[in-house]
Structure 1
Amino acid sequence: MIRLLVALAILVAVGGIKLPIEHDLKRLHRQEHFRGVEFNLDLREKLGQLGFVAALSGFRAIVADALFIQAHVAWERTEWGRILLLFRHITMLQPRVLLFWDTAAWHMAWNASVAAMNDRTQPRLALRVKAQREYFALGKDFLERGIKNNPDRPQLYEALARLYKEKYKDHQRASEFYAKAAVVPDAATFDRRFSAYELSYCEGREREAYERLRSLYDEG
């Protein structure tokens, strides 16, 4: 509770800084023809030019927590574009916090993608599928950048493996990322097994998957 109150106090204190930033964001949205969500993965480079991190460098952790609260509120309102922009700021402020990368990917690749596919205001299936895939790509981008910032942690490799498995139906890539997670310190014991399971769905590699599973069984 104290952490929450401090975060809210900081938000009020830096309100004068945020106003010009939010103005720049709105201008940037118009320039990018922002409609609900911006799918250009290079937008994060443009956001960096706003000087947000430099302006709030002394309050990185607290501001990131406060923005995380805002992102949760945006999720309750299904404001996917706002969620995207907030998490780009959050992960820029705190790139070593796995929760932020994982949650950002979950909102994009799971929640927003489902909302896009079920969007009743868009009668054309092809456009709904296109939007869904773009959200998949946004989720994947968060996880890939999270891994670059945290190559020594297994959780984001596992999350990316799940994304490939559940969203792209790409069992080979899922197997690869479970295998990458397995060799990272503090990896879960199931990572090697899950890697073999995913490999078993790949045509022509069933025998290899069986050998891996048999080896794990023999190890006890």
Structure 2
Amino acid sequence: MRRFKTARNLIVIAAVLCGTGYLRMPKEQKFMEDLRERKIAHPQIDSEIWSKMGQTSLAGTFGGLRSVMASFMSIGAYDHFENNDWYKLEKDFEVITALDPYNAYYWNTGAWHLGWNAASWARRNQRREIETALKNGNEDFSPTKQRLLEMEFLEKGDAMYREGLKYNPGSEELWFDRGAMWSNEYKRPDLERAAEAFKELRNSPNPVYRRRYLLTIARIPGREIEAYEEMVRLVSVSDPRNFSIPTFRVLMLILGSNPELPDGALRPPVDVVYNNPEKAYEDLYNYWNRIKNDGYYAGNYEVLMKQLIDKLKVPDSLNPYVTEPKRPLYPSVWKRELEKRDRDGSSR
């Protein structure tokens, strides 16, 4: 009889606990969702990520040590980086970022390994295989196929940047590094994607980040008006650090020369942007390679250059229309060439 009463009491207690838990569950779930939305609590881990976790990571997750486990795993992932085990490294960072998704550092590190290191490794391997194929006379060799691996890692890096930005939309480093990856001339530049990232940094307190949107869209055909508007916006900020950048100074002239600008548009003349014509010529001379190699907007570059060439009596050695520029024009070079010109002129 006593055993029966004990069992009955246990059943009643269990029923009460289950009922209470059932009634409280919706409120607790809502409370937890609110904490996750406010980034106080970690988000749920996807079932696919659970399957990739080892026993230690699982134990740490249930023990509330997700950030600690992420830190330990990031140290272990370095071994895969050293051994070029890129797919294992990718798996590591999928788990690491799931454990601590609000830490932008892990997203940035994972994306850097995949989009920068792994892609560069793939390109180096391509070069070796191309050289070997050409040496062996392999006519079936396709460089296009070899580029696929590099693009695969670039896309993986981009995906990690984008996923990280879902959890850390305010991380300027993630936005900037994603844009830097797609604007890097030594990779596979995609300036539209770079501009998409840099646009988020237009109001950054960091002047380097703030200027990159302008410096990117000034290289994209068809976006010259937009680049002009961005240049005017940055000029209106009156940050003296902008005017210390040679390319920014030149863009004030070049973008303002666009014939498609509306009447009344700001078109700064050379003597407003520069204190002396020599400095203007130095900047414009160096902008030549920006046009030829980086695709910057040319505008009325040729008109401006020829006006300054006539005004300053520039020697042929510093005239890009006579002597192809092979290196930047530094003040010391400019001074030396002008002195040489004057000596040659006086000796005649």
**TM-score > 0.5 by shorter chain:** yes
1:96 lines up with 2:102 in the alignment: yes
* Aligned counterpart, 1:50: 51
User: 2:123: which partner in 1?
Assistant: 117
Give the structure with higher Rg (CA): 2
In the alignment, what sits opposite 1:13?
none
Partner of 1:157: 175
Q: What letter corresponds to residue 230 of structure 2 in structure 1? A: R
Shift of 1:218: 3.3
CA contact (8 A) 1:109 1:138 kept: yes
The aligned amino acid for 1:50 is S
Tell which has more relative contact order, 1 or 2 (C-alpha 8 A, sep 6+): 1
**Aligned pair partner of 2:231 in 210, 213, 217:** 213
Read off the aligned partner of 1:177 and give its amino acid letter: A
CA shift, 1:46, in A, is 6.3
The C-alpha deviation readout for 1:28-68, integer Å capped at 9, x for no partner, is xxxxxxxxxxxxxxxx9663242736542122112111111
Decide whether aligned partners of structure 1 residues 172 and 81 sit closer, same or farther in structure 2, where only a CA change above 3 A counts: closer
In 2, Cα distance between the equivalents of 1:152 and 1:177? 12
Superposed CA offset, 1:1-38 (max 9, x none): xxxxxxxxxxxxxxxxxxxxxxxxxxxxxxxxxxxxxx
Output one character per residue of 1:58-92: Cα deviation in whole Å (capped at 9) or x when no partner. Answer: 22112111111111122122221221111111111
Residue from 82, 87, 92 that aligns with 2:88 = 82
Counterpart of 1:193 in structure 2: which amino acid?
R
Matched, 1:127 2:152: no
Query: What are the within-5 Å matches in structure 2 for residues 1-220 of structure 1?
Result: 47-50=48-51, 52=53, 55-57=59-61, 58-119=64-125, 120=128, 124=141, 125-166=143-184, 167-183=187-203, 187-220=205-238
1:150 offset after TM fit, Å?
A: 0.7
Gaps in structure 1 of 5+ consecutive residues: 1-43
Instruction: Figure out how many residues of one structure are paired with residues of the other and give that number.
Output: 175
Is the Cα–Cα contact under 8 Å of residues 154 and 182 in structure 1 kept in the other structure? no
* 8 Å contact from structure 1 (residues 74, 80) kept in 2: yes
Paired with 1:198 and 1:149, the residues of 2 have a C-alpha distance of 26
Instruction: Output the CA distance in 1 between the equivalents of 2:193 and 2:232.
Output: 21
The amino acid that maps onto 2:218 is S
Find the aligned partners of 1:89 and 1:77 in 2 and give their Cα distance: 19
The sequence identity of aligned pairs, in percent, is 26
Distance verdict in 2 for CA 1:200–1:97, change over 3 Å: same
Offset, 1:189: 2.8
User: Alpha-carbon deviations, 1:156-211, whole Å to 9, x = none?
Assistant: 1112111221244222322221111335xx65233331101101011122233133
Q: Are 1:196 and 1:212, in contact at CA under 8 Å, matched by a contact in 2?
A: yes
Unaligned runs of 5+ residues in structure 2 are 1-44, 134-140, 239-348
Distance change in 2, residues 1:121/1:47 (3 Å): farther
Q: For 1:160 and 1:209, how far apart are their aligned partners in 2?
A: 20
Match of 1:190, as an amino acid? V
Q: Provide the rounded CA distance (Å) in 1 between the counterparts of 2:147 and 2:237.
A: 44
Matched residue type, 2:190: D
Name the CA distance, whole Å, in 2 between partners of 1:169 and 1:162.
9
